[in-house]
């Protein structure tokens, strides 16, 4: 074959090969930008949001230990101080394990059920350093691990709130068993219903920014049922049962207020204007509630007390919890002004009228305050009242939705909690002996004393 014919043949073969490969080359050229575009479209967590959520998580943990522990510890008698500290500490530790084993899955496991999150994320299955959780903004995500931890602190704090209702007379073993059962059958389902996209209450359109129903109404109702079923303290109404250290109580309350900024602002799930609004409202509602409680107390008994100021502080924090991200600053102030006199009435009149012994007024402050906050959210979210609601926001419609959410939470928590207290009573017994109670739970249950003379 001549050189000219050889080159001609190569040219023909090259052209043919080019023609055959052209579609492949074209596809590759089209696919590469498409793949790059898809990769670019996948949201990536912002470092600022991750750090913000990390700090918020630590603040909520600070609310439990030492905040709540010292707050409750100061409210009980000196002989029961360590028992309260121990209960808060062990509940927190236990709930951290329960949460990662199955609690996170039961609440946020991806199930389409309106009541239950499912089993898909048992033992944190599928949660990795690369998995993400959505926030309230389109295209904004945070690492799923930090969402797991943030919600874990809520799950640890909530059952610890309950123990204040029956402090000074309950068995330590009963506290631990009840906590596990209550978290499983009350807290996790309610958290799913309220905060998961498939939840019953979420899909009703109820607003609960940081846990008015999930945390405070839940804990308040469980506390009331517990106070009634465990029974009054020995000598209640006859013996002196004043708080042994208002200093510790105020220190604990101040720690709670400080940690509550993580509780409320962190519930925005990202470092944005919503978190700032929640912070502003957490300041203002609490300040208004402290002043309102002190004023009411002055009118009612002639003097304002430090216990009253601390109670007003917690009541204001509770009331603004469901509303922090949706009401305006003036709405937050009004909530604080409203919640204090209502809670004061429950702890000073209703409790004595019905004769139940709620040691730390868990129902009167958390339960009642949570209801006020949940219902108030349905009003003060209105844009013409300074809230963040849409232009077509309807106070009547939203209020009824909030009321429905409150009723569902009260009924679910009330019935299931009563059953669980009975189960615990049958298995280990709820209450210590009269002798152990008179000696004090520090010595009788834990073999140590908080103070030595």
pLDDT digit string, tens, across residues 164-205: 999 999 999 999 999 999 999 999 999 999 999 999 999 999
- Of 114, 248, 264, whose CA–CA distance to 194 is shortest? 114
- Of 281, 292, 269, 271, whose CA–CA distance to 387 is shortest? 281
Q: What is the dihedral of CA 376, 382, 387, 389, to 10 degrees?
A: 120
Q: What is the dihedral of CA 417, 422, 427, 432, to 10 degrees?
A: 100
pLDDT at 213 over 60: yes
Whole-Å CA distances, 383 to 159, 316, 319, 354: 35, 22, 19, 40
Distance CA 306, CA 294 (A): 9
pTM assigned to the model: 0.90
- Of 339, 343, 349, whose CA–CA distance to 365 is shortest? 343
Whole-Å CA distances, 39 to 15, 32, 49: 35, 11, 21
- Of 415, 72, 23, whose CA–CA distance to 244 is shortest? 72
Phi, psi of 237 (to 5 degrees): 90, -10
pLDDT tens-digit map of 220-240 = 999 999 999 999 999 998 999
Radius of gyration over alpha carbons of the chain, in Å? 28
Q: What is the dihedral of CA 180, 144, 328, 379, to 10 degrees?
A: -50
pLDDT at 146 over 90: yes
pLDDT tens-digit map of 1-38 = 444 443 444 344 444 444 434 444 444 455 455 544 54
Distance CA 313, CA 253 (A): 7
Phi, psi of 132 (to 5 degrees): -130, 160
Q: What is the pLDDT of residue 384?
A: 97
95 and 187 in contact (C-beta within 8 Å)? no
Q: Which CATH superfamily hosts domain 47-429?
A: Ammonium transporter AmtB like domains (1.10.3430.10)
Average pLDDT over residues 204-209: 98
Q: What angle do CA 269, 273, 278 make, to 5 degrees?
A: 70
325 and 210 in contact (C-beta within 8 Å)? yes
Average pLDDT over residues 36-49: 76
For the chain, what is the mean pLDDT? 93
Distance CA 312, CA 368 (A): 12
Q: What is the pLDDT of residue 33?
A: 56
pLDDT tens-digit map of 268-302 = 999 999 999 999 999 999 999 999 999 999 999 99
413 and 186 in contact (C-beta within 8 Å)? yes
Q: What is the pLDDT of residue 366?
A: 99
Whole-Å CA distances, 406 to 371, 379, 414, 439: 7, 15, 12, 40
Q: What is the pLDDT of residue 2?
A: 45
Residue length, the chain? 453
Q: What percent of the chain has pLDDT over 70?
A: 91
DSSP string, 156-215: HHHHHHHGGGGTTTB-HHHHHHHHHHHIIIIIHHHHHHHHSTT-HHHHHT---SS-IIII
Q: Which residue has the tokens 């604990």?
A: 252
Distance CA 65, CA 92 (A): 8
- Of 175, 149, 180, 177, whose CA–CA distance to 162 is shortest? 175
Average pLDDT over residues 440-447: 97
Omega before 251 within 30 of 0, i.e. cis: no
Q: What is the pLDDT of residue 40?
A: 54
Q: What is the pLDDT of residue 37?
A: 54
392 and 416 in contact (C-beta within 8 Å)? no
- C-alpha count within 13 angstroms, C-beta hemisphere, residue 143: 16
pLDDT tens-digit map of 328-383 = 999 999 999 999 999 999 999 999 999 999 999 999 999 999 999 999 999 999 99
Distance CA 75, CA 91 (A): 19
Q: What is the pLDDT of residue 42?
A: 80
pLDDT tens-digit map of 49-97 = 999 999 999 999 999 999 999 999 999 999 999 999 999 999 999 999 9
pLDDT tens-digit map of 424-435 = 999 999 999 999
331 and 380 in contact (C-beta within 8 Å)? yes
Distance CA 12, CA 396 (A): 80
Distance CA 107, CA 113 (A): 11
Q: What is the pLDDT of residue 22?
A: 46
Confidence of residue 264 (pLDDT cuts 50, 70, 90): very high
Q: What percent of the chain has pLDDT over 90?
A: 90
Distance CA 157, CA 324 (A): 19
């Amino acid at each position: 074959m001549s050189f000219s014919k050889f080159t001609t043949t190569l040219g023909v073969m090259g052209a043919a090969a080019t023609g055959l490969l052209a579609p492949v080359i074209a596809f590759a050229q089209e696919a590469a930008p498409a793949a790059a575009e898809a990769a670019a479209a996948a949201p990536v967590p912002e470092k600022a949001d991750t750090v913000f959520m990390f700090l918020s998580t630590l603040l909520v943990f600070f609310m439990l230990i030492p905040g709540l522990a010292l707050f409750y510890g100061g409210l009980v008698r000196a002989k029961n101080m360590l028992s309260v500290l121990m209960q808060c500490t062990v509940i927190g530790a236990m709930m951290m394990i329960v949460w990662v084993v199955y609690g996170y899955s039961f609440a946020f496991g991806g199930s389409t059920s309106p009541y239950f999150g499912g089993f898909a994320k048992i033992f944190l299955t599928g949660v990795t350093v690369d998995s993400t959780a959505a926030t309230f903004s389109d295209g904004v995500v945070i690492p799923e691990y930090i969402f797991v931890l943030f919600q874990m602190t809520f799950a640890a704090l909530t059952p610890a709130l309950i123990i204040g209702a029956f402090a000074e007379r309950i068995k330590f073993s009963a506290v631990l068993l009840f906590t596990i059962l209550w978290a499983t059958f009350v807290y996790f389902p309610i958290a799913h219903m309220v905060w998961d996209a498939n939840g019953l209450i979420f899909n009703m359109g109820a607003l609960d920014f940081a846990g008015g129903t999930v945390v405070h109404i839940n804990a308040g109702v469980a506390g009331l049922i517990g106070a009634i079923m465990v029974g009054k303290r020995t000598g209640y109404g006859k013996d002196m049962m004043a708080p042994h250290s208002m200093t510790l109580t105020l220190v604990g309350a101040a720690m709670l207020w400080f940690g509550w900024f993580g509780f409320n602002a962190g519930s925005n799930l990202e470092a944005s204007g919503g978190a700032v609004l929640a912070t502003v409202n957490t300041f203002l509602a609490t300040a208004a509630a402290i002043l309102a409680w002190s004023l009411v107390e002055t009118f009612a008994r002639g003097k304002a007390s430090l216990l009253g100021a601390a109670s007003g502080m917690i009541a204001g924090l509770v009331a603004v919890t469901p509303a922090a991200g949706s009401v305006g600053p003036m709405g937050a102030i009004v909530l604080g002004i409203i919640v204090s006199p209502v809670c004061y009435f429950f702890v000073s009149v209703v409790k004595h009228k019905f004769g139940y012994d709620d040691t730390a007024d868990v129902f009167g402050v958390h339960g009642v305050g949570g209801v006020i906050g949940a219902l108030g959210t349905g009003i003060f979210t209105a844009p013409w009242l300074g809230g963040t609601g849409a232009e077509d926001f309807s106070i009547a419609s939203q209020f009824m939705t909030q009321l429905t959410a409150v009723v569902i939470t009260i009924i679910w928590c009330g019935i299931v909690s009563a059953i669980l207290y009975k189960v615990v009573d049958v298995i280990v017994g709820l209450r210590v002996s009269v002798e152990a109670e008179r000696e004090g739970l520090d010595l009788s249950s834990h073999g140590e004393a908080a103070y030595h003379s």
